[in-house]
Structure 1
Amino acid sequence: MITHPAGEIEHLPFHGTGEMGNLIRAFDWSETPLGPISKWPQSLKIMTGMLLLSPVPIVLIWGGDGIMIYNDAYSVFAGDRHPKLLGCKVREGWEEVADFNDNVMKICLAGGVLSYQNQELTLIRHGRPEPVWMNLDYSPVLDESGEPVGVLAVVVETTESVLAQRRLRESEERFRALTTATSDVVYRMSPDWKEMRQLDGRGFLPDTESPSVAWQELYLFPEDIGHIQAVIDEAVRTKGVFQYEHRVRRADGSVGWTLSRAVPIFDRRGRIVEWFGAASDVTERKRNEEHLKLVVHELNHRVKNNLAMIQAIATQTFRNTADLKEAQTRFSARMVALAQANDLLTGERWVGASLRGAIEQSIRSHCPEEHRCAIKGEDVKLSPKTALALTLAMHEMATNALKYGAWSNSSGKVSVSWSTYADREGAKRLRIEWRETAGPQVEPPLRRGFGSVLIERGLAREIGGEVKMEFVPGGLVCTIDAPENVYAGQ
């Protein structure tokens, strides 16, 4: 309420102290417990003049009723409540935090002081409740007799700073969650890469928790450092991305491979202040790639061998033949046997084949009835070379048994058995026996055909062992004796 004539206002205290100085001088204080300004105690006038000159938000809370007097900076903080707060009791002016202010009045009017950093309160300043964070400092104001009669409150709002810090923390927590969720190694490097500031190895690489200049000796192999350093130097020179796939010393001491990528962090002047990187464990992929190279090399070798074998089969099958159609049939059957052997090896990724699988695949399709074919022996893994040769040999014997041997009548049987044993020198060997029984009476052939040559000479040469064929009256008996190197991996 303005009660002073306009001509008298400028003669009152607080002249030239901004908007709030004018409002205070024009306010009818006689309606408040403070009374008119002319009767204010000197301590109240001095404190009011001081707060009006301060650029910091300050409110003076006077007397037991807590009458508020504040400056321009505080009026901004008050929001829509300004200017209604002037001359108002603090409990009524900020009723949503009345309990908080009651405690402040109680402590300070008893001579105590209070200080809060980033104190959160919920205030109504713009028509709705909103969280506010503030640095608050409260101190008692003494009258002429030295007794506390008021409270001086310095109010600095920190809401924007608190929210910014909270957003930063949330961002950092999301980043930490991201880096924790991934299996990638994360690391930080100095601008020139001389010093590794930190590395979280995730169990793949040894951790570096404090800065280290010896990181290359810890993580890299001497013969690789030059190549890696050249890529680093180029990234530093161009201020670009570092990316390189290279070997590393794993945490368990073994050799590993990593795909490392790092990006530069710049300051406002465009200078690199740090490098932040992530490194993936690609050891298994590199192993698979190396294995694939070996498989391709082996496949090329096998293809050449197969072509040579096909050429030999064709030459022997069609040499001096009188019946071209029969020769074509035999050739086709032999090609099918060769293809089946390759299928068996392909299923085993060309690292070997099952002996039982090779035998069953070769002879089951020729056997007239299930009970006329017996296969017995503990399974053995054959080398690819042995598996191919044995498959073709078994095919030839099965074909012969079906045409002329045990399977050519209604009662003959074929049994294939094998076992391993140690020779006199203790070397491990494999013995396979093909035995025909109850078939037509057989006699040794007058001339060795291609099948016999393939079995006795070709198989013996391929396995580096001995092959013996006996045409006894009861049927063919073929014994194969091979050294240990026929096994897979030998």
Structure 2
Amino acid sequence: MQRKGQAMDRTTPWPLGSSAMAERIRAFDWSATPLGPVAGWPAMLRDTVQLALHHAMPMAVLWGDQRIQLYNDACIPILGKRHPDSLGRPAFTNWPEAAGPAEPLLTRAIAGETVTLADAPLRLDRDGRDAEAWFSITTSPLIDSDAGPRAAGILVTAFETTATVIADRERAAAFAVLRKREAQQRVILEVLPVGVAVVRPDGELEQCNAVMRHFLPTETMPSRDPERQGRWQGWDAEGRPIDVRDFPGARALRGESVLPGTEMLYTEDDGRRVWVRVATVPLMDAERRPQGQITVVHDVDAMKRGAEALRASESRFRSLVEGIPQLVWRAREGGLWTWASPQWTAFTGQSCADSLDMGWLDAVHPEDRDDARALWEKAAASGSLAMAGRLRHAASGEYRWFQTRATPVRDADGTIIEWLGTSNDVHELRALKDRQQILVAELQHRTRNLMGVVRSMTQKTLETSVDLDDFRARFWHRLDALARAQQLLSRLDDYGRVTFDELIRTEIAAMDGGPERVTLDGPMDVRLRSSSVQTLAMALHELATNAVKYGALGQAQATLAIRWWVERAADEDRPMLWVDWRESNVRHEGAQQGDRWGHGRELIERALPYQLDARTSFALTPDGVHCTIAVPVSHTTAAFMDMPGKDHRSVRSASRGG
């Protein structure tokens, strides 16, 4: 082993050994990592790596500020699919979920402290399945005395404790079950009036409890007590009275066991008659001769009353739960269901038997099952259960959101003996909440866009107005056009779109300059993007306003033809709406129209391409204005236009005010 100050023997392959990781480390290109070539590594790093490679326990070395990672063969099963990419890379690059728990340990180790984390849980890939495992992990500083007290690296050693953790959990679960059973037994003994006695061969009671003395105040078994024999009556399977010689106690003295017992009618001192069950077991010596008996007298009259009350209570409970819309269920600790209501069966298609224990999870959306299990694990400690998840609707096959809540039922000692829960359908409520959020976001977006349009429109109108009256007239006309666009947008539902024919009809209808001379030709149902409606509406308004003042809508002999169509460019995966605005027979009088086209032309030639990624052209011909606009439209328009056999309604008519 090389020591500090010694030069590395370049003739000996390093690291030594034939393990898989030794060979992989020898073949690795370390010059491409922050560690550099192996020949320049510190002796401590090489020695520690060599030590780890020969060790049977999982060991890893994290070196330098970036914590470059080297590890031995025993680490490969832990890394799973992260091997071999983890070699030579910073720690946790391939395992980011482990960084949170491990980072405090590494920080303390770098500071010079050895730290052990016991039974740390890890999720491993074992035999192609995700499995939970536990390890005791120790991080030790690797301190080079020449480099100061701060560690140059960290040695990580892992020892698997999965078997111990599972065994501890199983013991804890077994103890919990035992404690639960003991608690149940105590409750039973406190509630049920049971008489217990040890009887000698002569029929006298050797030992008994207070309840037994109530039934046998003379402390003599009935078959040996002539004065009280008449208080006890019994009948065989055929309904014939049982002879005193066949009373349970007499049979036990002959060596017979009477289990689970014989029902007998006992008469109290006040004449009240109660049903009891008498069970006896003989006590035998080594030669199998009876030496006495154990007798138990159980007041089944009280138990029958309790059973009847319980049946009545269960009947009321079932009537209640079957009359409410929620899905109702009962469970033991850990989410093990014991009963499911008819509503659960009707919704999920699961029978009550199918839902028992953890069978109900089959109706839960796969993505929500881990959360459900985790919440059940915490329920006993927190004393409540509340979770949201999706349940499969058997009739439709869809998953719907439910809010589930459960309350524990406790015994006299405060121990949880049962959980009662309900699952309430909140699917529509969640949908309304999501829609509200979408509407608020859309309102905020549209408001910002609208304010931007108004600000720009105001600035441009100011720049091109002669005086305040001129500004007022232009501004109000443009504001009206913007309001018309907003009115179209405000009528939409979640998935609606403003169509181009609606937009152009609305704008032409607002003009008073001879609409009978306007020809509209193009398909209906061309759906515009909501974000483009305002700007496109302003451009159409500028064209229409100038046509009324100086062009085709203001001169009797002139005409206006507006055509539009949809194309999908060969080099683009988006539909484009093409609009052709062509005026004819327009006479130019006085100032050229070009003198009046400052803001409108700038809007068409600059704002539309910039804001909507449009393509435009604008020309003042001897006949009037000729303008083309190509603007992207909604993909749903393209899907609609491409549908085979679709009857695309078209507008081919002279407009008369819309």
- TM (norm. structure 1) is 0.57
- Name stretches of at least 5 consecutive residues in structure 1 with no aligned partner: 1-49, 59-134, 136-155
1:175 alignment partner, one of 320, 325, 344:
320
The answer as to 2:387 corresponding to 1:244 is yes
2:332 alignment partner, one of 161, 181, 190:
190
Return the letter of the residue paired with 1:378. Answer: M
The answer as to 2:482 corresponding to 1:338 is yes
Question: CA 1:293–1:236 in 2, change beyond 3 Å: closer, same or farther?
Answer: same
The answer as to 2:458 corresponding to 1:314 is yes
Tell me, in whole angstroms, the C-alpha distance in 2 between the residues paired with 1:320 and 1:204: 69
Return the letter of the residue paired with 2:422. Answer: A
Q: Per-residue deviation at 1:233?
A: 6.1
Residue 431 of structure 1 corresponds to 578
Name the SS of the counterpart of 1:445 in structure 2. helix
Question: CA 1:387–1:276 in 2, change beyond 3 Å: closer, same or farther?
Answer: same
Question: CA 1:224–1:450 in 2, change beyond 3 Å: closer, same or farther?
Answer: farther
Tell me, in whole angstroms, the C-alpha distance in 1 between the residues paired with 2:305 and 2:600: 93
Tell me, in whole angstroms, the C-alpha distance in 2 between the residues paired with 1:486 and 1:462: 18
Return the letter of the residue paired with 1:467. Answer: T
Q: Per-residue deviation at 1:201?
A: 5.6
1:293-349 deviation per Cα after TM superposition (whole angstroms, max 9, x unaligned): 334333323322222222211111112632211112211222222232223222214
Q: Per-residue deviation at 1:454?
A: 1.0
The answer as to 2:608 corresponding to 1:463 is no
Return the letter of the residue paired with 1:380. Answer: V
1:353–1:488 contact (8 Å) kept in structure 2: no
Number of aligned residue pairs: 339
Residue 142 of structure 1 corresponds to none
Question: CA 1:57–1:447 in 2, change beyond 3 Å: closer, same or farther?
Answer: same
2:508–2:515 contact (8 Å) kept in structure 1: no
Tell me, in whole angstroms, the C-alpha distance in 2 between the residues paired with 1:424 and 1:312: 35
The answer as to 2:526 corresponding to 1:385 is no
Q: How does 1:313-462 map to 2 (within 5 A)?
A: 313-319=457-463, 321-349=465-493, 352-368=497-513, 371-376=516-521, 377-410=523-556, 412-425=558-571, 427=573, 428-441=575-588, 445-446=594-595, 448-462=597-611
2:529–2:633 contact (8 Å) kept in structure 1: no
Q: Per-residue deviation at 1:247?
A: 5.2
- Name stretches of at least 5 consecutive residues in structure 2 with no aligned partner: 1-226, 236-274, 276-300, 640-658
Q: How does 1:53-452 map to 2 (within 5 A)?
A: 53=230, 168=313, 171-172=316-317, 174-179=319-324, 182=325, 184-193=326-335, 195-199=336-340, 200=344, 202-203=346-347, 209-210=353-354, 211-213=356-358, 219=364, 225=370, 232=376, 236-237=380-381, 239-240=383-384, 242-246=385-389, 256-267=400-411, 271-319=415-463, 321-349=465-493, 352-368=497-513, 371-376=516-521, 377-410=523-556, 412-425=558-571, 427=573, 428-441=575-588, 445-446=594-595, 448-452=597-601
Tell me, in whole angstroms, the C-alpha distance in 2 between the residues paired with 1:350 and 1:165: 54
Tell me, in whole angstroms, the C-alpha distance in 2 between the residues paired with 1:489 and 1:346: 24
Tell me, in whole angstroms, the C-alpha distance in 1 between the residues paired with 2:308 and 2:332: 30
Name the SS of the counterpart of 2:323 in structure 1. helix
Q: Per-residue deviation at 1:236?
A: 3.3
2:514–2:554 contact (8 Å) kept in structure 1: no
Name the SS of the counterpart of 2:601 in structure 1. helix
1:367–1:373 contact (8 Å) kept in structure 2: no
Tell me, in whole angstroms, the C-alpha distance in 1 between the residues paired with 2:369 and 2:617: 56
Q: Per-residue deviation at 1:266?
A: 4.0
Q: Per-residue deviation at 1:260?
A: 1.2
Q: Per-residue deviation at 1:382?
A: 1.0
Tell me, in whole angstroms, the C-alpha distance in 2 between the residues paired with 1:315 and 1:249: 57
1:257–1:282 contact (8 Å) kept in structure 2: yes
Tell me, in whole angstroms, the C-alpha distance in 1 between the residues paired with 2:366 and 2:451: 44
Larger radius of gyration: 1
- TM (norm. structure 2) is 0.44
Identity of aligned residues (%): 24
Residue 111 of structure 1 corresponds to none
Name the SS of the counterpart of 2:553 in structure 1. helix
Larger RCO: 1 or 2 (CA < 8 Å, sep 6+):
1
RMSD: 4.3
